[in-house]
């Protein structure tokens, strides 16, 4: 759930030489430096200068951008490659591939490859017909067999996608495909929306390095860690994009910013902390998102129980619902938005704020230390020894808040929340940790700053349904409520997506119980981010859809609508 995954490279992409020179320079100079001989050092430095000069000469010849091209520094490099069956495109837009369905700017489900799609009365069989005229970027036709192949392959590929519920996908004829499920599951439609179709003929190991799809663009060149060049796919069946050539830069934050200041980048994603500044020739483009941040509480007491992998489970303090509610009531979410996000965001009250399946009844008044204090006192948490921290049965109201040490946004949230909780007598100790360690070791026994937010309610199911026999970071706090489980199961088994929405809402709060703060409060949701971009003043990027978790790449969702406005 990393927010920004920038690849740290010292050089600017497109200038391949400079990195080689950098490596060369290091290699040459180290022996000179360590031996301490001044003559050798001078020779060494001279060589460096010569080499750099040679490199610069070559760079200048190269750096005339084609007028029709657009340079984006929005991250999005996938080290595993661009294979949809392994998960490419599941957060955001597959770009090289097209999907059966897609969501428009208002998140409505609209057809893309598909012409009709229908769930049978048994709720197990999807029948989808596709356009007959579609060809892949290499000119070969896209048939129902490719669709069936894509779904069957993704189901067994073992990537980040979980299509275990798919029994079989079968092509009935050239344009009709049937997807059979093992159990009724309306959230399966999410895969119709996000899974890019790959050609059966070309797919195989290594496909992710040279993807061929039927999307609006095709991959031309990918220098890993540096840049990717894509061009409009002449065979694309939809509206041809106005911008024919895109260059994605995969440089570090600082390098990308410097390139933008030099006028070499047209679309730049920046963290909110940098969005307050000005870049000449660029305007700020702010996109609302469901990319949220919140605290996940361990909901079980620490009884010494362990997971099958031997990890500690539970925390005696956060197992008390009064503590979890008090934390929720105390936090001043608007102050977090203003202070930590520089105003680029909005308070978060649940995991799916403002999505169609959000339940507006779960909003509450926060920044209410008085109510939180009463709640804690009634639950028996009192500060008897006068050290400013409440106790109950000899246990201090104290827990660690663990955050990803490389993410300054989560660090800021953890520190600010910790300070907000002090006045009510709860001591939250921020702790920076390696993300892998958090996800794989600490998640069941500590309070963790997490980020989620997707375009499918399946995420809500995974976060709040009782965990299965193999616990993971989804519902790592072991939240269990039979009523909520019932609603979530019913919602998944619903006959249509529209029918499932009231059930998703009831799982949050049905008037009696739910995972909202008035109910069991297994989370303290903090903020929803706004994703901030600097874009060329001459570029019109249309209306961006509410972005999922994952800042950067999702902005390309409507890239075929982008246009240059001045010339």
Q: Which residue ranges make up the site for other proteins (CB under 8 A)?
A: 30, 33-34, 257, 273-274, 276-277, 335-336, 338-340, 405-406, 408, 411-412, 414-416, 419, 430-433
Q: Residue 414 CB, nearest distance to other proteins (Å)?
A: 8
* Cβ-Cβ contacts under 8 Å for 119 (sequence gap 6 or more): 125, 126, 186, 495, 496
Nearer to other proteins, 411 or 480 (CB): 411
Q: Closest distance between other proteins and the C-beta of residue 239, in Å?
A: 39
Nearer to other proteins (CB atom), residue 386 or residue 468: 386
Partners of residue 118 on adjacent β-strands = 127
CB of 412 to other proteins, least distance (A): 6
User: CB of residue 108 vs other proteins: minimum separation in angstroms?
Assistant: 38
Tokens 């503590």 appear where?
323
Helix axes 369-378, 321-330, angle to 10 degrees: 170
Please state, in angstroms and rounded to a whole number, the distance separating the CA atoms of residues 359 and 357.
6
Shortest reach from residue 341's CB to other proteins, in Å: 11
Q: How far is the CB of 10 from other proteins (least distance, A)?
A: 15
Nearer to other proteins, 26 or 49 (CB): 26
Report the C-alpha gap between 177 and 185 in whole angstroms. Answer: 18
Which residues face 103 on adjacent strands?
109
Least distance from other proteins to the Cβ atom of residue 473, Å: 21
- Closest to other proteins by CB, 89 or 412: 412
* Strand duo 539-540 + 391-392: pairing: unpaired
Q: Is 428 helix (H, G, I), strand (E, B) or coil?
A: strand
For other proteins, the closer of residues 337 and 397 by Cβ is 337
Q: Which is nearer to other proteins, 278 or 393 (CB)?
A: 278
- Copy the structure tokens of residue 31: 């022996």
Nearer to other proteins, 221 or 277 (CB): 277
Rounded to whole angstroms, the Cα distance separating 429 from 87 reads: 36
- Per-position DSSP letters for 299-335, written without gaps between them: -S---S-B-TT--B---TTTTSHHHHHHHHHH--HHH
Residue whose C-alpha is closest to residue 188's, from 125, 143, 243 = 125
Q: What is d(CA 446, CA 423) in angstroms, rounded to the nearest whole number?
A: 21
In residues, how long is the chain?
Answer: 567
Q: How far apart are the two ends of the chain, measured CA to CA in Å? A: 40
Q: Which is nearer to other proteins, 161 or 340 (CB)?
A: 340
Residue 441 DSSP one-character state? I
Minimum distance, C-beta of residue 34 to other proteins, in the bound complex (Å) = 6
């Amino acid at each position: 759930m990393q927010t920004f995954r920038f690849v740290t490279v010292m050089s600017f992409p497109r200038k391949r030489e400079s990195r080689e020179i950098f490596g060369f320079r290091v290699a040459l100079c180290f022996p000179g430096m360590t031996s301490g001989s001044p003559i050798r050092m001078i020779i060494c430095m001279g060589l460096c200068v010569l080499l750099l000069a040679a490199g610069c000469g070559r760079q200048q010849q190269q750096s005339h951008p084609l007028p029709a091209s657009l340079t984006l520094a929005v991250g999005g490099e996938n080290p595993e490659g661009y294979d949809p069956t392994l998960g490419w495109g599941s957060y955001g837009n597959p770009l090289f591939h097209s999907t059966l369905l897609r969501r428009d700017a208002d998140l409505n489900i609209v057809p893309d490859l598909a012409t009709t799609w229908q769930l049978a009365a048994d709720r197990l069989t999807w029948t989808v017909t596709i356009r007959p005229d579609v060809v892949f970027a290499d000119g070969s036709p896209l048939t129902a067999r490719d669709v069936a192949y894509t779904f069957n392959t993704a189901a067994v590929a073992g990537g980040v996608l979980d299509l275990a519920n798919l029994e079989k996908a079968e092509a009935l004829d050239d344009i009709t495909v049937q997807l059979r499920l093992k159990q009724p599951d309306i959230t399966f439609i999410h895969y119709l929306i996000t899974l890019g179709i790959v050609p059966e003929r070309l797919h195989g190991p290594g496909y992710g390095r040279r993807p061929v799809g039927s999307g609006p663009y095709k991959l031309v060149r990918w220098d890993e860690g540096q840049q990717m060049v894509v061009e409009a796919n002449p065979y694309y069946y939809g509206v041809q994009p106005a911008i024919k050539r895109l260059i994605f830069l995969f440089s570090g934050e600082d390098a990308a910013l410097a390139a933008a200041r030099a006028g070499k980048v047209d679309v730049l994603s920046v963290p909110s902390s940098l969005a307050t500044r000005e870049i000449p020739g660029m305007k700020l483009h702010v996109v609302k998102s469901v990319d949220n941040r919140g605290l996940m509480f361990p909901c079980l007491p620490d009884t010494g129980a362990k997971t099958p992998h031997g990890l500690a489970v539970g925390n005696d303090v956060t197992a008390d619902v009064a503590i979890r509610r008090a934390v929720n009531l105390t936090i001043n979410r608007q102050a977090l938005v203003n202070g930590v996000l520089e105003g680029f965001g909005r308070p978060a009250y649940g995991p799916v704020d403002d999505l169609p399946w959000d339940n507006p009844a779960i909003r509450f008044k926060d920044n209410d230390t008085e109510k939180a204090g009463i709640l804690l006192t009634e639950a028996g948490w009192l500060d008897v020894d006068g050290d400013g921290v409440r106790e109950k049965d000899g246990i201090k109201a104290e827990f660690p808040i663990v955050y990803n040490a490389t993410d300054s946004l989560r660090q800021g949230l953890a520190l600010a929340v910790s300070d907000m909780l002090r006045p009510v007598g709860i001591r939250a100790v921020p702790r920076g940790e390696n993300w892998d360690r958090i996800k794989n070791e600490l998640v069941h026994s500590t309070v963790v700053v997490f980020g989620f937010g997707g375009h499918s309610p399946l995420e809500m199911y995974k976060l709040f349904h009782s965990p299965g026999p193999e616990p993971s970071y989804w519902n790592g706090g072991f939240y269990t409520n039979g009523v909520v489980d019932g609603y979530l199961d019913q919602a998944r088994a619903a006959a249509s997506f529209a029918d499932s929405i009231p059930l998703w809402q009831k799982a949050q709060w049905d008037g009696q119980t739910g995972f909202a703060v008035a109910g069991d409060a297994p989370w303290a949701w903090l903020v929803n981010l706004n994703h901030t971009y600097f874009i060329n003043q001459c570029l019109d990027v249309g209306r961006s859809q509410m972005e999922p978790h994952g800042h950067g790449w999702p902005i390309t969702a409507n890239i075929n609508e982008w246009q240059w406005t001045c010339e």
